Chains A and B, each alone.
Chain A
Amino acid sequence: MALVAALGRAALALFREAGGISLLGIYVALCLLRGRIDWAELRRNLYKMGVISVPIVVLTAFFTGGIMVIQSGIFVRRFGAYGLLGWGAGYAVFREVGPILIGLMFSGRVGANNTAELGTMTVTEQIDGLRALAIDPLPYLIVPRVVAMMIAMFCLLIIGDAIAIGGGMIMSNLLLDVEFSTFYVSFADNVKLWDLWVGLIKGVFFGLCIALTSCHFGTSVRGGAAGVGRAVNDAVVAAALLIMVSDNLLTMVLR
């Protein structure tokens, strides 16, 4: 009986959070449709979330491209399929590895930071302070963050994809003695623009998931500093889960 009760509680909590995230998404969409967004906050968040994230994304992407080559190196050598390296690395990075790894990195850095910031603002009554000053926190605080995270993910993915392909090219030259031109021809002849777009669409969607989860958990914090810690934890787990689930769905839709 206790097990059933615990399962029931967990299910209720899951649906409560899912409902909260969905409702926030609808409110954000309504604000955007009415053009209610604070542009100064958007610019500030684009810098804070996008520009500041470039170094960590570049580092992650470079090694991601390298790992793709190292993992496939054994088979490429065994079958002498050096001409497939560029295609393999490009296809995998553009469609899957790039969006997922950069998404998770973005969630850990920007999403967690956003939840902590909003959570602290909630427990220190800063959000109540905004409302008391007749300022709706949604267009002022939330909408700019959601839009900034979607734009930042799009831009960071373009940079990350380019760096990952560069990293793969350098690693295949250093480890497998594959000429840059061989790698490039394999990449350019086989990878299509649509492959890049699939990754970018996924990235923007992941940005939306990270933004909505981090904003939802940040603004629903209860219980002081401990509550902020729990919210950050919940937001990162929920964002990772949403990234994985939506990746499956988007992969099926965007063939």
Chain B
Amino acid sequence: MQLLEVRKLHFNPAVPPVLDGVSLRIEPGQTVGLCGPGASGKSLLLKILCGLVRPEGGRVEIDGLDLCTCSSAALRAVQSRIGMLFQNNALFDSMTVADNVSFPLRQRAIQQGIRLDEAYVRQLVHERLRAVGLADHADKLPSQLSGGQRKRVALARAVMTRPELIIYDEPTAGLDPVTTARIYDLLRRERDETGATVIIVSSDVEALMSFAPRMVMLYRGCLRYDGPTDAMANSPDPVVRQFVRGELEGPL
């Protein structure tokens, strides 16, 4: 994946959040942390970036292809290069952990008319599950796992096909500090191994800032900050400063 570029994105649905004139340029291999108060449009922006929602205005370009106007087939071709970890994990209830993790691989093989070697798939699934510490849970259903375990399965599935762009939506929401640290450790290892471009949304700003060298902040659908993580706490914008420092007094 060469470049991800968002230009003057505009979306004003009947129900908030909205997006108003968001522009963003992400170079290959970059890790970008996306933050902002609730209902500021973070998850919506992620869904637009991977082609799940079509905005009313603006452009989302990946390698020069506009996701807003391209054909369904072209969109699916781009989506097959993106991995997404959803806020609610989006694991398929009716499938076992192993089936969930192998699902993207099997579907891609079907789409490309390739016959997969079953032993190879099993081996790969085992490796991915071992990497997230769940090798012994392959035959369980998602409902039989804890929140942190489900999140790790979703992570294993998101990176199964080694995508070039990985999008994480609240990867540690509702998890205890130790599990949160483990998840971030996994994300770091995955990033270092693959060199993929990473966009990550999290309400845990402290952990997010320790993970991403570049931060983007959305506030009421508008881009409020886009720059290095180190400079964020001293931003001249009082909204950004108050949000990062977690102060009670201020414009927020």
In the bound complex, how far is the Cα of B104 from the Cα of A18, in angstroms? Answer: 34
Contact call A129/B82, Cβ cutoff below 8 A: no
Pick the contact of B88: A125, A132, A134 (CB < 8 A). A125
In the bound complex, how far is the Cα of B82 from the Cα of A86, in angstroms? Answer: 64
Contact call B111/A132, Cβ cutoff below 8 A: no
User: A136 within 8 Å of B by Cβ?
Assistant: yes
Binary B-proximity of A113-140 (CB < 8 A = 1, otherwise 0) = 0000000110011101101111110000
Contact call B79/A131, Cβ cutoff below 8 A: yes
In the bound complex, how far is the Cα of B93 from the Cα of A126, in angstroms? Answer: 9
Pick the contact of B76: A121, A125, A136 (CB < 8 A). A136
In the bound complex, how far is the Cα of B157 from the Cα of A126, in angstroms? Answer: 13
With a CB–CB cut-off of 8 A, which chain B residues contact A129? Answer: 84, 86, 90-92
* From B76, B77, B87, residue with most partner A Cβ within 10 Å: B76
For A120, give the chain B residue with the smallest CB separation: B93
Pick the contact of A126: B79, B80, B82, B92 (CB < 8 A). B92
Contact call B72/A133, Cβ cutoff below 8 A: no
In the bound complex, how far is the Cα of B111 from the Cα of A136, in angstroms? Answer: 11
Contact call B52/A131, Cβ cutoff below 8 A: yes
Nearest-neighbour CB distance to chain A for B84, whole angstroms, equals: 4
User: B107 within 8 Å of A by Cβ?
Assistant: yes
For A133, give the chain B residue with the smallest CB separation: B104
With a CB–CB cut-off of 8 A, which chain A residues contact B107? Answer: 133-135
Contact call B76/A126, Cβ cutoff below 8 A: no
Pick the contact of A132: B50, B72, B87 (CB < 8 A). B50
User: B103 within 8 Å of A by Cβ?
Assistant: yes
In the bound complex, how far is the Cα of B92 from the Cα of A133, in angstroms? Answer: 12
With a CB–CB cut-off of 8 A, which chain A residues contact B47? Answer: 128
Considering only residues 82-127 of chain A, those with a C-beta below 8 Å from chain B are 120-121, 124-126
Contact call B82/A132, Cβ cutoff below 8 A: yes
Nearest-neighbour CB distance to chain A for B46, whole angstroms, equals: 10
In the bound complex, how far is the Cα of B97 from the Cα of A142, in angstroms? Answer: 23
Contact call B52/A126, Cβ cutoff below 8 A: no
Pick the contact of A128: B52, B80, B82 (CB < 8 A). B52
In the bound complex, how far is the Cα of B90 from the Cα of A133, in angstroms? Answer: 11
Considering only residues 119-175 of chain A, those with a C-beta below 8 Å from chain B are 120-121, 124-126, 128-129, 131-136
Contact call A125/B104, Cβ cutoff below 8 A: no
For B80, give the chain A residue with the smallest CB separation: A134
Contact call A125/B72, Cβ cutoff below 8 A: no
With a CB–CB cut-off of 8 A, which chain A residues contact B91? Answer: 126, 129
Given A125-B86, A125-B87, A126-B93, verify A132-B52 contact (CB < 8 Å): yes
Binary A-proximity of B106-122 (CB < 8 A = 1, otherwise 0) = 01100100000000000
Nearest-neighbour CB distance to chain A for B63, whole angstroms, equals: 15
In the bound complex, how far is the Cα of B51 from the Cα of A131, in angstroms? Answer: 9
In the bound complex, how far is the Cα of B80 from the Cα of A134, in angstroms? Answer: 5
Contact call A134/B92, Cβ cutoff below 8 A: no
In the bound complex, how far is the Cα of B47 from the Cα of A135, in angstroms? Answer: 15
Given A125-B90, A126-B92, verify A132-B76 contact (CB < 8 Å): no
With a CB–CB cut-off of 8 A, which chain A residues contact B87? Answer: 125
Residue ranges of A at the interface with B (Cβ–Cβ < 8 Å): 120-121, 124-126, 128-129, 131-136
13 intermolecular pairs with C-beta atoms under 8 Å apart? A124-B88, A124-B90, A124-B93, A125-B86, A125-B87, A126-B91, A129-B91, A132-B50, A132-B82, A132-B86, A133-B103, A134-B108, A135-B107
5 pairs of A and B residues whose beta carbons are closest in the complex = A129-B90, A134-B79, A134-B80, A125-B90, A134-B76
